[in-house]
Copies of this chain bind each other. A is one copy, B any other.
Protein backbone atom coordinates (compact mmCIF):
# COMPACT_ATOMS: atom_id res chain seq x y z
CA UNK A 1 0.00 0.00 0.00
CA UNK A 2 1.58 3.24 -1.09
CA UNK A 3 1.95 5.85 1.61
CA UNK A 4 -0.87 8.34 1.36
CA UNK A 5 0.55 11.81 0.98
CA UNK A 6 -0.45 13.83 3.98
CA UNK A 7 -2.59 16.88 3.35
CA UNK A 8 -0.63 20.07 3.81
CA UNK A 9 -0.82 21.48 7.29
CA UNK A 10 -0.07 25.02 6.25
CA UNK A 11 -2.52 27.62 5.05
CA UNK A 12 -3.43 27.81 1.35
CA UNK A 13 -0.22 28.64 -0.45
CA UNK A 14 -0.54 31.10 -3.28
CA UNK A 15 -4.05 30.56 -4.51
CA UNK A 16 -7.41 30.78 -2.88
CA UNK A 17 -8.50 28.68 0.03
CA UNK A 18 -10.27 25.46 -0.92
CA UNK A 19 -12.86 23.44 0.83
CA UNK A 20 -10.10 21.14 1.96
CA UNK A 21 -8.34 24.00 3.72
CA UNK A 22 -11.52 24.87 5.53
CA UNK A 23 -12.12 21.27 6.48
CA UNK A 24 -8.66 20.92 7.89
CA UNK A 25 -8.81 24.16 9.80
CA UNK A 26 -12.19 23.24 11.28
CA UNK A 27 -11.08 19.72 11.99
CA UNK A 28 -13.89 18.17 9.99
CA UNK A 29 -14.29 16.50 6.62
CA UNK A 30 -14.83 18.19 3.30
CA UNK A 31 -18.30 16.70 3.17
CA UNK A 32 -19.25 18.46 6.35
CA UNK A 33 -18.10 21.78 5.02
CA UNK A 34 -20.01 21.17 1.83
CA UNK A 35 -23.11 20.38 3.79
CA UNK A 36 -22.73 23.50 5.83
CA UNK A 37 -22.52 25.47 2.62
CA UNK A 38 -25.44 23.91 0.84
CA UNK A 39 -27.93 22.69 3.39
CA UNK A 40 -26.92 24.61 6.44
CA UNK A 41 -29.94 23.72 8.54
CA UNK A 42 -30.29 19.98 7.97
CA UNK A 43 -28.34 17.70 10.20
CA UNK A 44 -25.69 19.93 11.62
CA UNK A 45 -24.46 20.03 15.22
CA UNK A 46 -24.42 23.67 16.22
CA UNK A 47 -20.95 23.27 17.57
CA UNK A 48 -19.55 21.89 14.33
CA UNK A 49 -21.45 24.46 12.36
CA UNK A 50 -19.81 27.30 14.19
CA UNK A 51 -16.40 25.68 13.86
CA UNK A 52 -16.87 25.50 10.13
CA UNK A 53 -18.24 28.99 10.01
CA UNK A 54 -15.28 30.53 11.76
CA UNK A 55 -12.85 28.54 9.63
CA UNK A 56 -14.54 29.86 6.50
CA UNK A 57 -14.38 33.39 7.80
CA UNK A 58 -10.77 33.05 8.87
CA UNK A 59 -9.69 31.76 5.49
CA UNK A 60 -11.90 34.09 3.50
CA UNK A 61 -13.09 31.02 1.71
CA UNK A 62 -15.66 31.07 -1.03
CA UNK A 63 -16.47 28.06 -3.14
CA UNK A 64 -15.24 27.83 -6.71
CA UNK A 65 -18.19 28.09 -9.06
CA UNK A 66 -16.10 26.33 -11.67
CA UNK A 67 -15.70 23.24 -9.59
CA UNK A 68 -19.33 23.40 -8.58
CA UNK A 69 -20.36 23.72 -12.18
CA UNK A 70 -18.25 20.78 -13.15
CA UNK A 71 -19.80 18.66 -10.46
CA UNK A 72 -23.41 19.61 -10.60
CA UNK A 73 -23.58 20.67 -14.22
CA UNK A 74 -24.92 24.05 -13.17
CA UNK A 75 -22.89 27.18 -13.45
CA UNK A 76 -25.03 30.11 -12.30
CA UNK A 77 -24.10 31.66 -15.60
CA UNK A 78 -26.44 33.11 -18.16
CA UNK A 79 -25.28 33.75 -21.69
CA UNK A 80 -26.32 36.90 -23.46
CA UNK A 81 -25.79 37.21 -27.17
CA UNK A 82 -26.23 40.71 -28.49
CA UNK A 83 -26.35 41.57 -32.16
CA UNK A 84 -24.59 44.85 -31.63
CA UNK A 85 -23.48 46.41 -28.36
CA UNK A 86 -23.35 49.73 -30.13
CA UNK A 87 -27.10 49.74 -30.44
CA UNK A 88 -28.55 51.65 -27.50
CA UNK A 89 -31.65 49.51 -27.54
CA UNK A 90 -29.60 46.37 -27.07
CA UNK A 91 -27.63 48.01 -24.31
CA UNK A 92 -30.76 49.10 -22.53
CA UNK A 93 -32.09 45.57 -22.63
CA UNK A 94 -28.76 44.22 -21.54
CA UNK A 95 -28.88 46.50 -18.55
CA UNK A 96 -32.28 45.25 -17.53
CA UNK A 97 -31.20 41.67 -17.94
CA UNK A 98 -28.04 42.24 -16.01
CA UNK A 99 -29.87 43.73 -13.06
CA UNK A 100 -32.27 40.82 -12.93
CA UNK A 101 -29.46 38.30 -13.20
CA UNK A 102 -27.48 39.85 -10.43
CA UNK A 103 -30.47 39.88 -8.18
CA UNK A 104 -30.96 36.19 -8.81
CA UNK A 105 -27.32 35.44 -8.20
CA UNK A 106 -26.48 34.78 -11.80
CA UNK A 107 -23.62 36.27 -13.72
CA UNK A 108 -23.96 37.38 -17.29
CA UNK A 109 -21.62 36.21 -19.95
CA UNK A 110 -21.65 38.54 -22.88
CA UNK A 111 -21.04 37.77 -26.49
CA UNK A 112 -21.28 40.58 -28.98
CA UNK A 113 -21.88 39.68 -32.58
CA UNK A 114 -20.80 43.05 -33.90
CA UNK A 115 -23.63 42.71 -36.37
CA UNK A 116 -21.94 39.73 -37.95
CA UNK A 117 -24.64 37.12 -38.12
CA UNK A 118 -22.11 34.50 -39.15
CA UNK A 119 -20.84 34.37 -35.63
CA UNK A 120 -24.11 33.59 -33.97
CA UNK A 121 -23.40 29.93 -33.98
CA UNK A 122 -19.91 30.40 -32.58
CA UNK A 123 -21.33 32.59 -29.87
CA UNK A 124 -23.79 29.99 -28.77
CA UNK A 125 -21.20 27.28 -28.71
CA UNK A 126 -18.67 29.37 -26.88
CA UNK A 127 -21.23 30.20 -24.26
CA UNK A 128 -22.48 26.65 -24.08
CA UNK A 129 -18.98 25.39 -23.50
CA UNK A 130 -18.91 27.41 -20.31
CA UNK A 131 -22.03 25.59 -19.24
CA UNK A 132 -24.21 28.64 -19.22
CA UNK A 133 -27.53 27.48 -17.89
CA UNK A 134 -29.53 29.41 -20.38
CA UNK A 135 -29.31 31.91 -23.17
CA UNK A 136 -30.81 35.28 -23.90
CA UNK A 137 -30.58 35.95 -27.58
CA UNK A 138 -30.89 39.26 -29.32
CA UNK A 139 -29.52 38.34 -32.68
CA UNK A 140 -30.05 38.81 -36.35
CA UNK A 141 -32.08 35.65 -36.36
CA UNK A 142 -30.73 34.50 -39.65
CA UNK A 143 -28.20 31.87 -38.74
CA UNK A 144 -29.54 28.43 -39.46
CA UNK A 145 -26.79 26.71 -37.54
CA UNK A 146 -27.56 28.66 -34.43
CA UNK A 147 -30.94 27.07 -34.04
CA UNK A 148 -29.39 23.67 -34.34
CA UNK A 149 -26.66 24.58 -31.88
CA UNK A 150 -29.22 25.68 -29.35
CA UNK A 151 -31.30 22.60 -29.85
CA UNK A 152 -28.28 20.40 -29.30
CA UNK A 153 -27.49 22.05 -26.01
CA UNK A 154 -30.97 21.53 -24.79
CA UNK A 155 -30.79 24.62 -22.63
CA UNK A 156 -33.57 27.12 -22.23
CA UNK A 157 -33.49 30.14 -24.46
CA UNK A 158 -35.27 33.43 -24.51
CA UNK A 159 -35.45 35.50 -27.65
CA UNK A 160 -35.52 39.26 -27.30
CA UNK A 161 -36.85 41.61 -29.94
CA UNK A 162 -36.19 39.26 -32.79
CA UNK A 163 -37.72 35.91 -33.45
CA UNK A 164 -35.60 33.13 -34.76
CA UNK A 165 -36.65 31.10 -37.74
CA UNK A 166 -36.46 27.60 -36.37
CA UNK A 167 -36.23 28.26 -32.70
CA UNK A 168 -39.00 27.28 -30.35
CA UNK A 169 -38.44 29.59 -27.42
CA UNK A 170 -39.93 32.21 -25.19
CA UNK A 171 -40.08 35.53 -26.95
CA UNK A 172 -40.03 38.95 -25.35
CA UNK A 173 -40.52 42.04 -27.42
CA UNK A 174 -42.14 45.36 -28.03
CA UNK A 175 -45.64 45.03 -29.40
CA UNK A 176 -44.53 46.11 -32.85
CA UNK A 177 -47.95 46.25 -34.40
CA UNK A 178 -49.31 48.29 -31.53
CA UNK A 179 -46.35 50.63 -31.62
CA UNK A 180 -46.78 51.31 -35.31
CA UNK A 181 -50.49 51.93 -34.87
CA UNK A 182 -49.74 54.29 -32.01
CA UNK A 183 -47.16 56.24 -33.98
CA UNK A 184 -49.02 56.37 -37.26
CA UNK A 185 -52.29 57.14 -35.52
CA UNK A 186 -50.67 60.01 -33.71
CA UNK A 187 -49.29 61.46 -36.93
CA UNK A 188 -52.68 61.19 -38.54
CA UNK A 189 -54.36 62.84 -35.58
CA UNK A 190 -51.82 65.63 -35.76
CA UNK A 191 -52.83 66.28 -39.33
CA UNK A 192 -50.12 64.52 -41.28
CA UNK A 193 -51.74 62.25 -43.81
CA UNK A 194 -48.86 61.51 -46.10
CA UNK A 195 -46.73 58.94 -44.34
CA UNK A 196 -43.25 57.71 -45.15
CA UNK A 197 -42.17 54.60 -43.30
CA UNK A 198 -38.39 54.35 -43.26
CA UNK A 199 -36.72 51.11 -42.27
CA UNK A 200 -33.49 49.23 -42.55
CA UNK A 201 -33.62 46.38 -45.04
CA UNK A 202 -36.33 44.27 -43.46
CA UNK A 203 -35.99 40.88 -45.03
CA UNK A 204 -35.20 38.17 -42.54
CA UNK A 205 -35.27 40.35 -39.44
CA UNK A 206 -38.55 39.66 -37.73
CA UNK A 207 -38.96 42.91 -35.83
CA UNK A 208 -38.45 44.94 -38.98
CA UNK A 209 -40.78 42.74 -40.98
CA UNK A 210 -43.45 43.04 -38.34
CA UNK A 211 -43.18 46.80 -38.30
CA UNK A 212 -43.42 47.02 -42.06
CA UNK A 213 -46.42 44.71 -42.08
CA UNK A 214 -48.09 46.73 -39.36
CA UNK A 215 -47.55 49.89 -41.34
CA UNK A 216 -49.13 48.29 -44.39
CA UNK A 217 -52.04 47.16 -42.29
CA UNK A 218 -52.45 50.64 -40.89
CA UNK A 219 -52.65 52.11 -44.37
CA UNK A 220 -55.17 49.50 -45.40
CA UNK A 221 -57.46 50.41 -42.53
CA UNK A 222 -56.99 54.16 -42.83
CA UNK A 223 -57.88 55.19 -46.37
CA UNK A 224 -57.57 58.86 -45.47
CA UNK A 225 -53.80 58.35 -45.31
CA UNK A 226 -51.40 57.74 -48.13
CA UNK A 227 -48.17 56.01 -47.46
CA UNK A 228 -44.97 54.63 -48.75
CA UNK A 229 -42.14 52.48 -47.50
CA UNK A 230 -38.51 53.39 -47.99
CA UNK A 231 -35.60 51.14 -47.21
CA UNK A 232 -32.53 53.07 -46.17
CA UNK A 233 -29.39 51.00 -46.24
CA UNK A 234 -26.20 52.16 -44.57
CA UNK A 235 -24.28 52.97 -47.72
CA UNK A 236 -26.83 54.90 -49.67
CA UNK A 237 -28.63 57.89 -48.21
CA UNK A 238 -30.02 58.72 -51.64
CA UNK A 239 -33.33 56.87 -51.63
CA UNK A 240 -34.37 58.58 -48.42
CA UNK A 241 -33.49 62.08 -49.53
CA UNK A 242 -34.99 61.46 -52.94
CA UNK A 243 -38.25 60.31 -51.41
CA UNK A 244 -38.44 63.39 -49.25
CA UNK A 245 -37.68 65.69 -52.17
CA UNK A 246 -40.33 64.08 -54.31
CA UNK A 247 -42.96 64.74 -51.72
CA UNK A 248 -42.05 68.37 -51.52
CA UNK A 249 -42.00 68.70 -55.26
CA UNK A 250 -45.52 67.34 -55.26
CA UNK A 251 -46.46 70.10 -52.87
CA UNK A 252 -47.03 67.91 -49.85
CA UNK A 253 -45.65 67.78 -46.36
CA UNK A 254 -44.81 64.21 -45.53
CA UNK A 255 -44.41 62.73 -42.11
CA UNK A 256 -41.68 60.20 -41.50
CA UNK A 257 -42.12 57.19 -39.28
CA UNK A 258 -38.66 55.86 -38.48
CA UNK A 259 -38.50 52.21 -37.60
CA UNK A 260 -35.67 52.57 -35.08
CA UNK A 261 -33.02 54.88 -33.69
CA UNK A 262 -30.50 54.14 -36.40
CA UNK A 263 -33.00 55.22 -39.00
CA UNK A 264 -33.86 58.26 -36.94
CA UNK A 265 -30.24 59.35 -37.17
CA UNK A 266 -30.26 58.91 -40.92
CA UNK A 267 -33.49 60.83 -41.28
CA UNK A 268 -32.19 63.66 -39.12
CA UNK A 269 -29.09 63.73 -41.24
CA UNK A 270 -31.08 63.91 -44.47
CA UNK A 271 -33.34 66.59 -43.07
CA UNK A 272 -30.34 68.67 -42.05
CA UNK A 273 -28.86 68.29 -45.51
CA UNK A 274 -32.09 69.36 -47.14
CA UNK A 275 -32.29 72.32 -44.81
CA UNK A 276 -35.74 71.30 -43.67
CA UNK A 277 -37.21 71.75 -40.25
CA UNK A 278 -39.05 69.10 -38.26
CA UNK A 279 -42.65 70.03 -37.56
CA UNK A 280 -42.69 72.52 -40.38
CA UNK A 281 -41.40 70.84 -43.52
CA UNK A 282 -42.14 67.36 -42.32
CA UNK A 283 -43.61 65.50 -39.41
CA UNK A 284 -41.70 62.87 -37.53
CA UNK A 285 -42.09 60.06 -35.05
CA UNK A 286 -39.34 57.51 -34.47
CA UNK A 287 -39.37 54.21 -32.69
CA UNK A 288 -36.84 54.11 -29.84
CA UNK A 289 -36.49 56.83 -27.29
CA UNK A 290 -32.98 58.22 -26.91
CA UNK A 291 -31.38 60.75 -24.67
CA UNK A 292 -30.74 62.99 -27.65
CA UNK A 293 -34.23 62.92 -29.11
CA UNK A 294 -35.26 66.09 -27.24
CA UNK A 295 -32.23 67.93 -28.59
CA UNK A 296 -32.51 67.37 -32.31
CA UNK A 297 -34.29 70.22 -34.04
CA UNK A 298 -37.38 71.19 -32.06
CA UNK A 299 -37.35 67.80 -30.34
CA UNK A 300 -38.19 64.46 -31.89
CA UNK A 301 -41.33 62.54 -31.00
CA UNK A 302 -40.66 58.91 -30.25
CA UNK A 303 -42.12 55.63 -29.22
CA UNK A 304 -40.23 54.62 -26.11
CA UNK A 305 -39.63 50.92 -25.77
CA UNK A 306 -39.84 49.47 -22.27
CA UNK A 307 -36.26 48.32 -22.57
CA UNK A 308 -35.64 47.75 -18.93
CA UNK A 309 -38.77 45.67 -18.58
CA UNK A 310 -37.85 43.70 -21.68
CA UNK A 311 -34.52 42.78 -20.19
CA UNK A 312 -35.97 41.92 -16.82
CA UNK A 313 -38.77 39.86 -18.27
CA UNK A 314 -36.44 38.00 -20.55
CA UNK A 315 -34.36 37.08 -17.56
CA UNK A 316 -37.42 36.19 -15.54
CA UNK A 317 -38.63 33.84 -18.27
CA UNK A 318 -35.27 32.20 -18.40
CA UNK A 319 -35.06 31.76 -14.66
CA UNK A 320 -38.50 30.20 -14.56
CA UNK A 321 -37.41 27.69 -17.17
CA UNK A 322 -34.28 26.99 -15.20
CA UNK A 323 -36.42 26.23 -12.21
CA UNK A 324 -38.12 23.61 -14.24
CA UNK A 325 -41.17 25.38 -15.57
CA UNK A 326 -42.30 23.38 -18.55
CA UNK A 327 -44.89 25.16 -20.64
CA UNK A 328 -45.06 25.82 -24.37
CA UNK A 329 -43.06 28.79 -25.64
CA UNK A 330 -44.56 32.03 -24.45
CA UNK A 331 -44.83 35.37 -26.16
CA UNK A 332 -44.61 38.51 -24.11
CA UNK A 333 -45.36 41.70 -25.98
CA UNK A 334 -45.03 44.98 -24.17
CA UNK A 335 -46.60 48.23 -25.32
CA UNK A 336 -44.52 51.18 -26.40
CA UNK A 337 -45.15 54.62 -25.04
CA UNK A 338 -45.63 57.66 -27.21
CA UNK A 339 -43.48 60.63 -26.28
CA UNK A 340 -44.80 63.66 -28.07
CA UNK A 341 -42.38 66.42 -28.95
CA UNK A 342 -42.47 69.20 -31.49
CA UNK A 343 -41.46 67.13 -34.50
CA UNK A 344 -44.94 65.66 -34.82
CA UNK A 345 -46.84 68.86 -34.09
CA UNK A 346 -47.84 70.51 -37.29
CA UNK A 347 -46.55 74.04 -37.33
CA UNK A 348 -49.77 76.07 -37.55
CA UNK A 349 -48.00 78.84 -39.43
CA UNK A 350 -47.51 76.79 -42.56
CA UNK A 351 -50.09 75.50 -45.06
Contacts and interface: CB of A to CB of B under 8 A. Distances in A.
Interface in A244-284: 265, 268-269, 272
Interface stretch (A26-34, A125-133, A185-193): A125-133
B95 A114 contact: yes
Interface stretch (A48-56, A198-206, A212-220, A290-298): A290-298
Contact of A110 (B92, B108, B297): B108
A127 B66 CA distance: 11
B112 A126 contact: no
A336 to B, nearest CB: 20
Given A88-B88, A295-B295, A296-B296, 7 more contacts: A63-B129, A98-B110, A108-B111, A265-B292, A292-B292, A292-B295, A295-B297
A304 to B, nearest CB: 15
A57 to B, nearest CB: 15
Nearest to A119: B102
Contact of A75 (B66, B88, B127, B292): B66
A46 interface: no
Given A64-B129, A294-B269, A85 B95 contact: yes
The interface size bin for chain A is: 35 or more
Nearest to A130: B65
A107 B109 contact: yes
A239 interface: no
Contacts of A295: 265, 268-269, 272, 292, 295-297
A129 B62 contact: yes
Contacts of A77: 130
A60 B15 CA distance: 34
The 4 closest A-B pairs by CB, nearest first: A292-B292, A110-B110, A268-B295, A295-B296
A91 B85 contact: yes
A138 to B, nearest CB: 14
Interface in A107-152: 107-112, 114, 125-127, 129-131, 152
28 contacts: A62-B125, A64-B70, A65-B129, A66-B70, A66-B75, A66-B131, A67-B70, A85-B94, A85-B95, A86-B91, A86-B92, A91-B91, A98-B110, A98-B112, A98-B114, A108-B110, A109-B109, A109-B110, A110-B110, A265-B291, A265-B292, A265-B295, A269-B294, A292-B292, A292-B295, A292-B296, A295-B296, A296-B296
A321 interface: no
A296 B294 CA distance: 9
A349 interface: no
A99 interface: yes
Contacts of A292: 265, 290, 292, 295-296
B64 A131 contact: yes
Given A98-B85, A292-B292, A295-B265, A14 B154 contact: yes
A37 interface: no
A99 B84 CA distance: 12
A237 interface: no
